[in-house]
Structure 1
Amino acid sequence: MNYRMARRTLSWFLMMLLLLQMAAVPAFAEGGNSAANSLAASVEKYLKDLQQNPESIGLYTGIAIYDLTDQTYLYTHNEKRNYIPASNMKLFTTISALDRLGPDYQWKTEVYIDGKVNPGGVLQGNLLLKGYGDPSLAAEDLEKLAAVVKEKGIKQVNGDLLLDESYFDEERLGTGWMWDDEPYGYSAQISALAVHKNFATATVAPGQKAGDPAKLSIEPANAYLTLINQVKTVEGNKSAISVERPRGKNEIILTGTIGVTSPAYTEDVTMEDPALFVGDVWKQKLSAAGIKLKPKTELKKTTVKTGVPFAAHLSMPLRELIVELNKESDNFYAEMLLKTLGATQKGNGSFQAGTQVVADVIKRAGIESGYTQVDGSGLSRFDLITAEQMVKLLVFLEDQDYREALEASLPIAGVDGTLKNRLKGTVAENKVFAKTGSMGGVNSLSGFVTAKNGHKLAFSIIVNGIYKSKYGRELQDFVAIQMATYPEVPYPGDYTPEETKNYDLSEWLDPILDKPEAAGLTAGVIIKTLEGEVLYERDADSLLTPASNLKLLTTAAALNQLGPDYTFKTELYGDAPLSPDGNQKGNLYLKGYGDPTLHTEDELKVQDGVSIEGIASWMKGQGLTRVNGNLILDESYFDKQRLGLGWAWDDESYYYNPTLGALALNRGTVMVEYEPGKEAGSPVTWNLLPQTSYAKVINEAKTVEAGEENTFAIQRDRGTNTIRLTGNLPADDSGDYERVPVEEPALYVGTVLREALTKEGISFGPKSSITIGQVPSSAVKWNEFKSLPLSDIVTYLNKHSDNFYAEMLLKALGAAKSGEGSASAGAEAVQEELTTLGGSSNFDMIDGSGLTRYNLISARHIASMLEGMTKSDAFEAYDLSLPVAGVDGTLKNRLKDTPAQGKLHGKTGSMTGVNSLSGYITTKNGETLILSIILNGYAISSDVMTDIQDQIATILADME
């Protein structure tokens, strides 16, 4: 099918073709028979074969191989694109630490006394322990410090044990770390005073016989963590144990089973506020050393400003510490190292200051920009680097006097560390020394290879979009073997370079995607007709993070499987029929079925449907005057997973990160309205909606003079319903509001319902409580309240890109399809729907909204759903739900006064390093096309990504 462009658009793009010139390093060296070309051909063939396998087709990779001996690149592949590096980020951190601190740097931990020691060895005062970020401090080191304190004459402490962690800031977790990683040792909280890497090792051993509780122990022994043992001993030799630590708490809940002949199960578990954990261990070591403490000795935090240390401990040198860091890929060591860099070099022990120091170092390696680093370990998916940048850093390392220290810390293929079990029995064994990196969808390997000709090669292989993890590792191993074989790599006889496919739209779209400011991006793009003809595609099978474009799949499956007229119900029950005298002696039950629109009649209302006030009014209308039993909330239609897997801990105070449950209110949030006080110095004025006792607001915010800096912030204490207003709000600020999520959504519903009933004059018995439970089979249904039809709900969802609505729909799909109201069951239903519509299910869907970065999907998958929906009876409702360019929803302010205004019906998606746009667009000649554009990676501004999408949409709309 041939298309021509309107004259003005074609002229504009001819100009763009002249302006946009790309300089790219070719994958193949000059000379068709060179050793470098054989190396390149072998890798290119391998990559080509991966794209033929449904389980590996989605991966995409950046590769750079540099010959340090000949000082030339042997091979590159998408080396300028940015990728999530996982633990390869540790190389940036450790090289910078060696550069700025030196290989012999040691950390100190100090003991101070606050008071006087009398001749009898009694300290009339406090004992202080101050940390400087030693990541290797162990319980045994505290034991030795306690022995020194005893040797110096202190036999008794009549004060408290004070703890100083002020060398670092109070940010415990890295940007974008996932809440569901938090219970585990690899995601331990960071503090300047730390012991045992801020985790404890819990051991679960079987009981004596099947049916007995399992036996638990913890090391180091402490009273700071509470272990809740729900593990049972069963027959056999296998274990199935789960570990949970509720957010914001120091409770470790172990559930599952362990076989009576099973070996012990161990897990490294973390805690909140780890400096107090150090204090607890320190307290035990002091007591074990024979130093008496008063019965009610308290652990308190403080800051030591002056004084001479009474005792001190020095860590091992940095050169030794980084061996464990890199060989075992220790996240905690890396993060402590990063904050130490900030503290020593910038006077600020923060993640941000540490990454500034790293930036200063790698700038000398020629890397001034074009990457993102937010932590030291690579645990965050906000980190983005290129393979070329990594190799540049390794080339820089070659000329530094600490090179040997860094290289000695790297795992060796087939020998030790994280490479111990890889490449054994191959030519690469003992020839590759490199840093690994691995997490869901990501696998990386960067370091050095000794080639067969004795040359030293620096390389980086960063793979993203991995559907099955083995393919990422196997790719790296294959490349490693080719490098170790170099220059005797045979040219693959059956390989022919793949020619770039040209489409009718290539001459217009390629310059947009190839402009220099987009060099760091991977662009998954596909444009096709409703009949399925592909008009253009680029990396359309790459598995990318889609952000809110994932909602297109959730809403399509919901409309098809539940139907546009589907309504959610909320049921009201009593232990008995409504009493004629209005005095209900039994319990009142409210059961939810996932209605996302349940609301209060105030500014939180966004759609009609069921309101709490409406439920209370109905009960009053039935003559109810008193409930003597309990108000019981039944949320059993869904599971109890409150947050999506992979949602970031630092988003928990924001409306787009709501808590979930089958019975939830106001999209899982309350609203805090605020404005300046009457005059500077007065508290900020605030109002809570709904006006409920369920959430507590602590106002520490002050009004300041007009024009002063606005530092006002609203944060919720983790795992609680306490909301804090902090900072300064200028007197000339117009005020605003924030929606803040609350914990345990069903209890929120129950509290607000009871308050509404009280306003209606309906009282409760003195011993009545609000609890979670299930409606008994003997209960009598009083009424059923129904939501708006699904078509209306989906319209609000897509127009406003509402995460809460999407997650509730996903769990409702799971409940309806398989009887399991979970995100995983819902995702399975969505994938089945896509295959029914002609697409494939070889992608990872973890939530319904796209908020998690665990999601991996291609532009082709999304286009398949869009194409399939055009043949569905629910298509009209689906199409009407999408934002319209320049008209409404999240596209209201985009593409105004362009040919695409009113012609593009699409879903946007945006988060840091991700931007997507997919939907339907009508051309000038009236033909409807399907487009999906997913952009992942680094750009100087998010405007670069939206500009790419808008330029493509404008061209498509202007075609005739």
Structure 2
Amino acid sequence: MSSVTARLRCLALFCGLLLPLAASGAGFPELEKMTERGFRISAEARLLGDGGRSGEALGAIEPELQLSPASVSKAYLAAAALDRWGPQHRFTTKLVSAAELDGNGVLRGDLILDGGGDPALASEDLWRLAQRLHQAGVREIEGRLVVSQWRFGPVECITTDRCEAQSRTANSYSALLSSAGVNHGNWCVNVAPGAAIGEPARITSCDSQSLILGIDNQVETRAAGSGTEFSAERVTREEGDVMLLRGHIARDAAPRDVYRASGDPARQTARTLLAMLEQAGIAVGQGYATSIEAPPASARNLAQVEGKPLQELLLQVMNYSNNFMADVLALNLVDTPRASLLQAGEAIQDYVAGLPDHGPVVMLSGSGLTTENRTSARGANVLLESMFHRSSLFPSFVASFQSPSNGVARFIRRGSPLFQDHIMLKTGTLNQPYAVRAVSGYFRTRSGRWGVFTVLVNGTASTPWLNWAQVLDPLAQDLERMIEAH
């Protein structure tokens, strides 16, 4: 056989090996079956190369098809945030004032909380602020407590749940946004049995000794062993937020914390801090107010708290898919005051524009709550690969992804131990106006090589209901083969 003939045969064999990858569903035979039921899929898995070179493609289904990534959008946010600030960045919340503090500890004017955009600001932080203000010698505020959300807030809503939450809500995930929000924009009350059968349940605040929002309590205490069932809805009335509680609680039931999104997160912060100042022995003469104006340039710093490092915030944003934290973090990416969610999305898009070969992307929010967000499996993998090659950022980035075998989300614990122990992933879920199940992350092969994978599954008006088992089970089988083969 001539050398020319041999080379032609080798070329034919090589081309034959490439043909299956070029075909629809190559490398994803189980996942591809979903396309036969009308679902739109963009999927790609590839090994990572060395020195910035792209590695071997292991499978693809329309990898450049633009689909909704749902909460996989948060991986883009995490990368943009780490690129902007680095893993150790902390957001600072301050108490400031331009007023004079006299020798008796009286502040002769307003005390201003300067909301620093901390996505994880909590009651404990407000308590530390109150304590530090007391340590600074303040015993009385002659003016008002003013909560300033000049960086952003109130933020215009662009999703149905958040728009409805301005007046009422029966959930915690639709929290409104502010640079001065506390406790993820949620009120918390504790519901416990009353002192005797037939009496109302005992309702207390989770965050202060006194109730700091209105309560309409119609939860009845019933006999031990009779079961517990009650509903909770936050409504906004003329006097402010009110928690409506309806149902019954057994006399032997354990107390339960109930979380509902507030109607005004800056006002919630003001009421919570006001209660803590009073508990710390600091009287406030003229109540509270909220503002969108920055504190005056002459204001002095009286107390401050620093939030958790960014790498810890990302664990909560990614592991728990916290939408409030994600969108607050994204709003911080905007350099000008009065930021909107659309500007936050543009800041993420600007970051993606610097990733070679990513392709188109649309980000209208950092949380992924908007179905209009768009990317492709190939684009998402370019993002993952770019972070893999950034040695100073990659440990914090990959740590925010979940391992199925020990992640906080139980629904991802599917497939064999090989699958569960060899991948790290971020999931995304939407059910309206159509179903979305998205998953993206890293895998390690048997030989220890790194790879990236992204699968975006979008339903249509004509496709059946979609659950995670329908996506994760076939994906696990397909990825197991890739992991085993390499």
| TM bucket, shorter chain | 0.7 to 0.9
Q: State the match for 1:545 in structure 2.
A: 68
Q: Residue 257 of structure 2 aligns to a residue in which SS? A: strand
Pairing 1:799–2:319 present? yes
- AA partner of residue 949 (structure 1): L
User: Structure 2 CA distance, aligned partners of 1:839 and 1:693?
Assistant: 55
Task: Provide the C-alpha distance between the structure 2 equivalents of 1:509 and 1:790, rounded to a whole number of angstroms.
Answer: 36
Which among 140, 149, 169 is matched to residue 626 of structure 1? Answer: 140
Partner of 1:759: 279
Inter-partner Cα distance in structure 2 for 1:502 and 1:514? 16
Of 165, 183, 186, 1:669 maps to 186
Question: Which of 199, 206, 213 in structure 2 is aligned with 1:689?
Answer: 206
- Report how far residue 740 of structure 1 moved: 0.8
Of 82, 101, 108 in structure 2, the residue corresponding to residue 559 of structure 1 is: 82
1:914 aligned residue (436, 457, 463): 436
Pairing partner for 2:258 from 734, 738, 743: 738
Distance 1:734 1:538, change over 3 A: farther
Aligned partner (choices 322, 345, 350) of residue 832 of structure 1: 350
Cα offset, 1:723, TM superposition: 1.5
Question: What's the CA shift for 1:801?
Answer: 1.4
How far apart are 1:647 and its partner, in Å?
4.3
CA shift for structure 1 position 914: 1.6
Amino acid at match of 2:403: V
- Listed as ranges, the gaps of 5+ residues in structure 1 are 1-499, 602-610
2:220 matched to which residue of 1?
Answer: 702
Change (3 A) 1:869 1:508: closer
**Residue 319 of structure 2 contacts residue 401 of structure 2 at CA under 8 Å; is this kept in 1?**
yes
Answer yes or no: is the 8 Å Cα contact 2:31–2:475 preserved in 1: no
Q: Residue 399 of structure 2: which of 861, 880, 885 is its match?
A: 880
Q: For the residues of structure 1 that align with 2:383 and 2:395, how far apart are their CA atoms?
A: 14
User: For residues 145-186 of structure 1, what are the alpha-carbon distances to aligned partners after superposition, in whole Å with 9 as ceiling and x for unaligned?
Assistant: xxxxxxxxxxxxxxxxxxxxxxxxxxxxxxxxxxxxxxxxxx
**C-alpha deviation, 1:890, in angstroms:** 2.7
Residue 663 (structure 1) shift: 0.5
C-alpha distance after superposition, 1:400-452 (max 9, x if no partner): xxxxxxxxxxxxxxxxxxxxxxxxxxxxxxxxxxxxxxxxxxxxxxxxxxxxx
Does residue 657 of the first structure (1) align with residue 174 of the second (2)?
yes
Aligned residues of 2:30 and 2:478 also touching (Cα < 8 A): no
Q: Is the contact between residue 21 and residue 27 of structure 2 (CA under 8 Å) also seen in structure 1?
A: no
Matches of 1:688 and 1:768, distance apart in 2: 20
1:838–1:868 contact (8 Å) kept in structure 2: no
Q: Which residue of structure 2 aligns with residue 958 of structure 1?
A: 484
Preserved CA contact (<8 Å) 1:630 1:771: no
The whole-number CA distance in structure 2 between the counterparts of 1:510 and 1:523 is: 13
Secondary structure (helix, strand or coil) at the match of 1:663 reads coil
Q: How does 1:207-606 map to 2 (within 5 A)?
A: 502-503=20-21, 506=25, 509-514=28-33, 519-531=37-49, 532=54, 533-576=56-99, 578-601=101-124
State whether residues 155 and 339 of structure 2, in contact with CA within 8 Å, keep that contact through their aligned partners in structure 1.
Answer: no
Q: 1:733 to 1:829 in 2, by over 3 A?
A: same
Report the Cα distance in structure 1 between the residues aligned to 2:478 and 2:252, rounded to whole angstroms. 42
Displacement of 1:932 after TM fit?
0.6
| Shift of residue 957, structure 1, vs aligned partner | 3.4
Alpha-carbon shift at residue 731 of structure 1 (Å): 6.4
Q: What does 1:151-190 align with in structure 2 at a 5 Å threshold?
A: none
Deviation of 1:891 (Å): 5.8
Q: Check the 8 A contact 1:900/1:958 in 2, yes or no.
A: no
RMSD: 2.9
What is the one-letter code of the residue matched to 1:690? Answer: D
Deviation at 1:635, TM superposition (A): 0.7
Distance 2:194 2:475 in 1: 44
SS in 2 for 1:721: strand
SS at match of 1:889: coil
In structure 1, C-alpha distance between the alignment counterparts of 2:419 and 2:406, rounded to whole Å:
11
CA displacement at 1:871 relative to structure 2:
2.0
How far the C-alpha of 1:803 sits from its partner, in A, is 1.1
- Is the CA contact 2:28–2:60 (under 8 Å) kept in the aligned structure 1? no
The amino acid that maps onto 1:613 is: W
Label 1:592 to 1:650 Cα distance change in 2 as closer, same or farther (>3 A).
Answer: closer
Q: 1:622 to 1:899 in 2, by over 3 A?
A: same
SS of equivalent residue, structure 2 residue 21? coil
1:856 aligns with 2:378: no
Change (3 A) 1:941 1:927: same
TM-score by length of 2: 0.83
* Superposition deviation, residue 513 in structure 1: 2.7
Cα distance 1:778–1:530, how it changes in 2: closer, same or farther (>3 A)? same
SS in 2 for 1:752: helix
- Taking a change above 3 Å as real, the CA distance of residues 555 and 585 of structure 1, as seen in their structure-2 partners, is same
1:885: Cα distance to partner? Answer: 1.9
Report if the CA contact (8 A) 1:886-1:892 is conserved: no
Matches of 1:758 and 1:737 in 2, distance apart? 24
TM-score, length of structure 1 as denominator length? 0.44
Quote the residue 2:451 is aligned against: 929
Q: 1:53-132 counterparts in 2 under 5 A?
A: none
Q: Which deviations, in whole Å up to 9, do the C-alpha atoms of 1:367-395 show, x marking residues without a partner?
A: xxxxxxxxxxxxxxxxxxxxxxxxxxxxx
**1:948 matched residue in structure 2:** 474
1:924 & 1:622 partners in 2: Cα distance?
Answer: 59
Say if 1:898 and 1:954, in contact at 8 Å, map to a contact too: no
Equivalent position amino acid for 2:134 in 1:
K
Structure 1 contact 645–847 (Cα < 8 Å) conserved: no
Segments of structure 2 that go 5 or more residues without pairing to the other structure are 1-17
CA contact (8 A) 1:904 1:921 kept: yes
Match of 1:490? none
Could you tell me how far apart the structure 2 residues matched to 1:917 and 1:695 are? 39
- The alpha carbon displacement at 1:785 in A equals 2.5
Contact residue 814 and residue 827 of structure 1 kept, 8 A: no
CA deviation after TM superposition for structure 1 residue 736, in Å: 3.7
Q: CA deviation at 1:795?
A: 1.9
Q: Aligned partners of 2:162 and 2:92: how far apart in 1?
A: 31
Instruction: Name the counterpart of 2:408.
Output: 889
Q: Aligned partners of 1:796, 1:562: CA distance in 2, in Å?
A: 17
| Higher RCO by CA contacts (8 Å cutoff, separation 6 or greater) | 2
Q: Tell me how many residue pairs correspond in the alignment.
A: 448
CA contact (8 A) 1:644 1:847 kept: no
Q: Distance in 1 between matches of 2:182 and 2:439?
A: 30
SS in 2 for 1:572: strand
SS in 2 for 1:804: helix
1:640 to 154, 157, 173: 154
Q: Per the alignment, in what secondary structure is the counterpart of residue 614 of structure 1?
A: helix
In the alignment, what sits opposite 2:333? 813
Deviation string, structure 1 residues 13-52 (Cα, Å, up to 9, x no partner): xxxxxxxxxxxxxxxxxxxxxxxxxxxxxxxxxxxxxxxx
How far apart, CA to CA, are the structure 2 residues paired with 1:693 and 1:730? 23
One-letter identity of the residue aligned with 1:551: K
CA distance in 2, matches of 1:754, 1:790: 28
Aligned-pair CA distance for 1:845: 1.3
Compute the displacement of 1:737 (Å).
3.0
- The one-character-per-residue Cα deviations of 1:429-482 (angstroms, maximum 9, x if unpaired) are xxxxxxxxxxxxxxxxxxxxxxxxxxxxxxxxxxxxxxxxxxxxxxxxxxxxxx
Q: Deviations over 1:627-674 (max 9, x none)?
A: 101111111111421544454656743222111101110111122333
Between the aligned partners of 1:595 and 1:887, the Cα distance in structure 2 is 28
**Secondary structure of the structure 2 residue equivalent to 1:717:** strand
Tell me how far apart the structure 2 counterparts of residues 854 and 560 of structure 1 sit (CA, whole Å): 24
| Change in CA separation of 1:508 and 1:838 when aligned onto 2, cut-off 3 Å | closer
Q: Distance in 2 between matches of 1:565 and 1:623?
A: 31
